[in-house]
Chains A and B, each alone.
Chain A
Amino acid sequence: MSKARQSLSNTIAAHAILITYTVIALFPVWVVLINSLKSRKAIFGSPLSLPFGDAFSTIGYETVFKRGNFILYFENSLIVTVVALVLVLLFGAMAAFALSEYRFRGNTLAGLYLALGIMIPIRLGTVAILQLMVATGLANTLVALILVYTAQGLPLSIFILSEFMRTVSDDLKNAGRIDGMNEYKIFFRLVLPLVRPAMATVAVFTMIPIWNDLWFPLILAPAEATKTVTLGAQMFIGQFQTDWNGVLSALALAIVPVLVLYLIFSRQLIRGITSGAVK
């Protein structure tokens, strides 16, 4: 009896802590989302009330669309993220396959060399990266960002994917070889489809830091035509600091796509982490 009561009170305590943290985690996002839909007066008068009746206004969003090139920024971010992601997955999977499938001289060394970048941040080479991009005429192009993010994403993706590729059965690949498939067909037709779950995990891990990065867009591609959403929002907010409607709406616009994508992919992401993909 007393044991049952104790476990009940434990459960209540656990939920109390978890709910408190839920509020802490969501409150800032919530405040921004509701206030982005309010008039200036309501933002200051009652910041915590819902945007109904008189308080409702879309003036902030109108400012953002009129004054900022957010559609262009979205396009840029989308292009950079998608292309870099495809390159990271393709090149990463190919390298992981080479490292996990074949025994050749220098295999371990190549693996260690490619793994260096997991711990050493690419940012520390910024000075020379900028020089390189200027020298090759790639400064202020999306190509510069794509190259940098591809290099940044490769080490971890090769590491995770080669762990997974070691689990693909040798019998299957040898059967393919006996059937006359060459090594490229074995990779693209047999191995890639089997490691798709791992690819999805790597995709999520690679995508988030690229979409959210401020450092490289600021340094390599700050021109209006190549601004990403993160940099665009940063500049817009800096410029319109006193326009609270505009600032809140710009923030909301930057939050919503990430939130929607996360809700779609959260199972994949959490399964990826908890399945021990990241060790």
Chain B
Amino acid sequence: MATDSIAAPKRPFRSHILVFLAPAVLVYTAVMIFPLISTLYQSFFSKDWAFIGFGNFVTLFTDPRLSASFWNALGNNFWFFIIHMVVQNPIGILLAALLSNPKLRLRGFYRTVFFVPTLLSFVIVGFVWKLILSPTWGVTQGLLKSVGLGALFQPWLGKEEYALTTLALISNWQFIGIPMMLIYAALLSIPDEVIEAAECDGITGWAQFWKIQLPLVLPAIGIVSILTFVGNFNAFDLVYAAQGAQPGPNFSTDLLGTLLYRTFFGYQLQLGDRALGSTIAAVMFLIILTGVCIYLFGVQTRLRRYQF
């Protein structure tokens, strides 16, 4: 017994560690990791379980009908992401910068309000905007008319050339709270001395924002970007709620998520296809993994972090 306490590294088996870890690891492995691996594995098999290597991927990329849908959805997905990056994140930064001014009144109120859309479900957001933009109801039309811009109105969600951008903007409206909050938190963590030192050097207002604050919140902007990327490349709900499983007009709002749903479950006369569904999921997995790796190894390590 006495030797036990001296030879400390050889501790008795501590069963409580296992008890603490087991439930989380079991559920997580059985319901998340195992299905993920199994889905990737199934993408190498045909519908009747014959191993066909990269056959499904070849079909997905080259089959005249399916590949057209795939490349269309992939292109749409990139456009969807670009709109988020150039609209949602800059507006989020602007709002966060305005809110971080400690002398501003009603900060709490604005913060609370700007986060409301983020809490609503995609179904609500999709339908609410569909109704508001609908030419049948005419709310938007009426509003535009009242400011003399009635001629600008279009049934945006119903026109092939506008529908995807409109949906992306709706999604921006919904999620602006997240970049705003994360960047707001980063701005608040900048110590007062840094700001005061800048003020002593005569750097104020916009110059201060560009030269001092923005560089200091770049890591937060990096996180926001990767969260946006992951979220966009597995988006499904909003498009499904607003435009259905065959996101019209003429598939102009089809994303990888809706394509996966359609392929896996089938629609109308086309039967669902487990193998090709797995293949699309595998491609989405690779895209997201690539994005996350670029972020982790290419962006995050290069951002300069300042320790205060």
Contacts and interface: CB of A to CB of B under 8 A. Distances in A.
Interface of A: 10-11, 14-15, 17-18, 21-22, 24-26, 28-29, 31-32, 43-44, 47-48, 87, 90-92, 94-95, 97-99, 102, 104, 110, 113-114, 116-117, 119-129, 131-132, 147-148, 150-152, 154-155, 158, 182-184, 187, 208, 211-215, 219, 230, 233-234, 237, 244, 247-248, 251, 254-255, 258-259, 262-263, 266, 269-270, 273-276, 278-279
Interface stretch (B17-25, B57-65, B66-74): B17-25
Contact of B110 (A10, A18, A148, A276): A18
Residue from B20, B111, B137, B142 whose CB has the most chain A CB atoms within 10 Å:
B20
B110 to A, nearest CB: 5
Contact of B285 (A10, A124, A212, A237): A124
B182 A273 contact: yes
Per DSSP, chain B at the interface is: helix
A270 B112 contact: yes
A150 B23 CA distance: 11
Contacts of A132: 30-31, 34-35
A119 B226 CA distance: 9
B120 A47 contact: no
A270 B111 contact: yes
B33 A116 contact: yes
A75 B25 CA distance: 29
A32 B281 CA distance: 36
B98 A14 contact: yes
A259 to B, nearest CB: 7
Nearest to B134: A244
B241 A266 contact: no
Given A31-B139, A123-B234, 20 more contacts: A17-B98, A29-B120, A31-B132, A94-B24, A110-B21, A110-B25, A120-B288, A128-B36, A132-B30, A132-B31, A147-B27, A154-B24, A212-B120, A214-B237, A215-B236, A247-B127, A259-B119, A263-B112, A274-B188, A276-B189
A32 B38 CA distance: 43
Interface string B120-133: 11111101110110
Given A151-B27, A274-B181, A278-B182, A25 B114 contact: yes
A91 to B, nearest CB: 4
A47 B129 contact: no
B14 A104 contact: yes
B197 to A, nearest CB: 20
8 contacts: A48-B139, A91-B24, A98-B21, A120-B36, A126-B260, A127-B42, A247-B127, A255-B124
Contacts of A255: 120, 124
B166 interface: no
B33 A14 contact: no
Nearest to B188: A274
Contacts of A129: 31, 35
A19 to B, nearest CB: 9
B203 to A, nearest CB: 15
Contacts of B132: 28, 31
B164 to A, nearest CB: 20
The 10 A-B pairs at the shortest CB distance, nearest first, are namely: A212-B121, A125-B35, A128-B35, A98-B20, A128-B38, A95-B24, A151-B31, A125-B36, A151-B32, A91-B24
Contact of B124 (A26, A208, A244, A254): A254
B115 interface: yes
A121 B289 CA distance: 10
Contact of A248 (B33, B103, B131, B142): B131
A117 B120 contact: no
Contact of A234 (B35, B111, B118, B241): B241
Contact of B237 (A155, A215, A266): A215
B218 to A, nearest CB: 14
Contact of A11 (B104, B124, B131, B277): B104
A274 B127 contact: no
B195 interface: no
B42 A128 contact: yes
Nearest to A44: B137
Contact of B123 (A15, A152, A234, A273): A234
Nearest to B16: A183
B154 interface: no
B188 A29 contact: no
B81 interface: no
Nearest to A228: B121
Nearest to B36: A125
A222 to B, nearest CB: 10
A25 B21 contact: no
Contacts of B149: none
A5 to B, nearest CB: 14
Given A127-B277, A233-B123, A233-B124, A47 B16 contact: no
